[in-house]
Amino acid sequence: MSDAPLPETLTLDDAFRAAFYMTEQYVALEDEPDVGLVLFEQYLHSDPARWEDWKTAVRRAIEHDAPTDPLTENLHRGE
């Protein structure tokens, strides 16, 4: 895997792949992964509704009036 700089933006497809691979990586690395996350990984592999659910989540993520921002803590850690 390359250490090339990451892009500032991703396509919907690339972002979905990233979320998929991150979940898959976490489940594989943990000795006893959380059952809920294992079920989420199975959902990503098998549920036909996952793409519509993904688009809904993206719409929610780009809303400027969302009540919480899961990135806030990570954006200010000074990487």
pLDDT tens across 55-73, in order? 998 898 888 676 777 667 6
Strand runs labelled E in the chain: none
Q: Note the pTM of the prediction, 2 decimals.
A: 0.71
Residue 12 near residue 54 (C-beta atoms within 8 A): yes
Rounded CA Rg of the chain: 15
Q: What is the pLDDT of residues 4-52, one digit of tens each?
A: 998 999 999 999 999 999 999 999 999 999 999 999 999 998 988 999 9
Structure tokens at 68: 């919480």
